[in-house]
Amino acid sequence: MDQTDWLKQFEKVGRFLRLGMEALGSVELVNSIDLLIAKLPELQPSLASDIQVLLSLALSAQERKDYLYVADLLEYEIAPRLQ
Amino acid sequence: MYFEQNLKLISERWPQLAERLHKTSDPEQVELVIDAPEITLLINGIHLSSCYDRLREARIQAELVPEGSTLAHVYGLATGDLPRLLLSRSELKELNVLVMSLAVARASLAYLDHSDWLTNPRVNLLMASSESDLQFPFACASATLSLADDGGARIRDLLYLELATPYISLQHQSLEEELRERMRQNSDYVDRDQSVSVLFSSLQGKDIYIAAAGPTLSESFHLLAAQREKIFLIAVDASVAPLTRAGFIPDLVISIDAAPHLFDLFFAEIDPVKYSEVSLVYFPIAEKMLLERWPGQRFLAYSQNKLYDDLVKIHPQGCLFASGSVLHSAIDLAVKMGASRIYLAGADFSFPKGQSHAEGCAAHLDVKDARLASYWVLNGRGERVPSCQNFRGYLRDLERYLALHPDLEFINCSLEGAKIEGTLSLESGG
C-alpha cells in the first residue's frame, strides 16, 4: 500500500464514521488496523512507535464511541506519517 | 461565551425550547478543544465535530441530503456546521434542526456562536423527543448519536437503524447463497407442510401470551399459570427451555433463525411426547434437524425477504413480519391469528439484571463485559438499561409495527426490560 492507498483507506473509514454509519465504519476500521499492524515492522522504529501511540489513542476513542476523533486520527495524524 | 446571545435568539422564535434549554443542566464534562487545528467541544469524552477540518466533515454529512432538496432535517445541532452548510444551498427552503440532547445543545450554545443560522428564516429548531419517526431527507451530526439524551433516544435508535441499512444489506448478501442451500435442503418439508395461513383468524378475540427469551420472562409466570387454561401460549425458540423447566408446554413454537445447531441449542431437552400436540411455525431456512425431529405439526411461513420471492410464487404461503427478531414474527402471527390482547413476556431488548437471556436458555450469559452492553435503552421505569445495537434496532422496528395496530392491546409484562412504545404495562393494562 502506498501513501495514496493508505489515505483512501482511512478516508473510507472516516467517511462512514462521520456519516454515523457505525457498523460499516467499524468493519473498515478493523480492516485498516489489521493492515496497519502488518505494516508496522516495515517502518522505522521511531515512526512505528509514533503510530502505535496514535493507534492506541484511536482505539481508546473507539471504545468510548468518540468516532469523529477516530476518523481525525486516522486521516490527519496516521495517514500523513505513512508518507 | 455565547449562551445569553444564542438563547435570546432562540427565545424570540422558539420560546418553549429556550425555556427548556435555560432549565437544563450542563453535561457532566465539557471542554473547549483549542490545542488542535480547529476549535470544537469535547463533551463527556466525545468530540462534537472534527478538530482538524469541520467544514469538510459537514460536507460529508450533508451528502445525505440530495442536491436540489427544498426541505431537509438535521439531527443534532452539534457545532452548527451542518445547518450552516445546508443553508448555503439556495434551493433549500426549509431546514428543521432537531435537538438530540438538551445538555449538549446548551453546551454548544454556550461556547460557540450559532447566531448566523439561528436567525435564518428558513430554520426551524425542534426537539427530537417530540418526533415520532425519522423525517427525510436528513443529515446527522453523528457525534450526537453518542450523546443523545433520554428524550432523543428513540430518534437516535431510528437513525442508527437507517444508517446501518447498507451494512445490513451487505450482511444479507454475504449469507444469501448459504441460505438458499438451506432452503434446497428443506424443500421436501417446504413442499408438503401446510401454510401458516391456515392458522390465521383461528383465535379471534382471544388473549395470546408470547414468551420471548429475555431475562424477565419468568416475571409473569404467575399470570401465565393463573390463565394457562384459557390463554394461547406462543413460544419463540429460545424460550422453550425456560418455559419447559417452569412446567409450561407452549401451544405453538416459532423459529425463523438459520443458525446452525439450533435444535441442539434450544430443543434438545424437549420431551417428544409432551410436544406431540405442539405446533411449529418455521421459515424455510430453518435447520433441517429441527424439521426432522419436531414431534408435532409443522407450518411453513415466510417473511418479505427477497430470498423467498421464488418460493412464494411456487408455494403461496402466509407471510409474517420479520425484521431481525423472531419476536416480530411471533407477534405478527398472534395478530393474524386474531388476538385482541397480546401479552409480551421477556421482550426486553436489553440486558436487565446483567443477563442476556432468561435463566435456563442455552444462550444465557452474564453480561459483565461492558463492550457487549455499551448502549442503552430506557426501561419501563424510565431508567437507562444496558442494551446492544441489534436489540435497539429490533425494538424500534417492533414499535413501528405496533403503531400499525392501534386497535389491539399489547401488554408488556415487565418494567425492567425496554419500554416498548405502543404497549401497556401489566399494571395498567393487564
Which one-letter amino acid corresponds to residue B338?
A: G
C-alpha cell at B352: 436487565
The pLDDT, as a whole number, for residue B303 is 94
Report whether pLDDT(B430) > 60: no
Chain B residues with beta carbon closer than 8 angstroms to that of A18: 50, 57, 60-61, 142
What's the predicted TM-score (pTM) here?
0.92
Distance CA A51, CA B317 (A): 57
**Which residues, in sequence order, are bridge partners of residue B282?**
B255, B300
In B71-150, which ranges are continuous DSSP H helix? 81-87, 102-111, 115-118, 143-147
- Closest by Cβ to A20, choosing from B50, B159, B389: B159
The pLDDT, as a whole number, for residue B372 is 62
The pLDDT, as a whole number, for residue B241 is 95
Q: What is the mean pLDDT of chain A?
A: 94
The answer to whether A15 touches B157, Cβ cutoff 8 Å, is no
Which of B35, B38, B51, B52 is the mutation pick for testing A, counting most A CBs within 10 A?
B52
In chain A, which among 27-56 make CB contacts under 8 A with chain B?
27
The answer to whether B419 touches B382, Cβ cutoff 8 Å, is yes
Q: What is the mean pLDDT of chain B?
A: 95
The ipTM of this complex is: 0.97
Categorize the per-residue pLDDT at B27 as very low, low, confident or very high, splitting at 50, 70 and 90.
very high
- Closest by Cβ to B145, choosing from A20, A64, A69: A20
Chain B residues with beta carbon closer than 8 angstroms to that of A75: 52
Report whether pLDDT(B426) > 90: no
Chain B residues with beta carbon closer than 8 angstroms to that of A71: 50
Report whether pLDDT(B369) > 80: no
Q: Is the peptide bond before B215 cis (omega within 30 degrees of 0)?
A: no
Which of A72, A73, A74 is the mutation pick for testing B, counting most B CBs within 10 A?
A72
* DSSP code string of B133-160: S--SSEEE-THHHHH--GGGHHHHHHHH
- Closest by Cβ to B47, choosing from A21, A24, A66: A66
Categorize the per-residue pLDDT at B140 as very low, low, confident or very high, splitting at 50, 70 and 90.
very high
Per-domain boundaries in chain A: 3-81
Q: Do B140 and A19 touch (CB under 8 A)?
A: yes
C-alpha cell at B370: 461492558
Query: What is the phi-psi region of residue B384: left when phi exceeds 0, alpha when psi lies from -120 to 50, beta otherwise?
Result: beta
The pLDDT, as a whole number, for residue B315 is 72
Tens-digit pLDDT profile for residues A19-66: 999 999 999 999 999 999 999 999 999 999 999 999 999 999 999 999
Report whether pLDDT(B429) > 80: no
Categorize the per-residue pLDDT at B142 as very low, low, confident or very high, splitting at 50, 70 and 90.
very high
Distance CA B234, CA B423 (A): 18
Rounded to 5°, angle at Cα B155 from B75 and B429: 160
- B254-281 average pLDDT score: 94
- Name every residue whose Cβ is closer than 8 Å to that of residue B174 and which is 6 or more positions away in sequence: none
The answer to whether B108 touches B139, Cβ cutoff 8 Å, is no
Alpha-carbon distance A78 to nearest alpha carbon in chain B (angstroms): 13
CB atoms under 10 Å from CB of B422, counted, come to 16
- B101-124 average pLDDT score: 98
Report whether pLDDT(B220) > 60: yes
Distance CA B39, CA B28 (A): 20
Tens-digit pLDDT profile for residues A8-30: 999 999 999 999 999 999 999 99
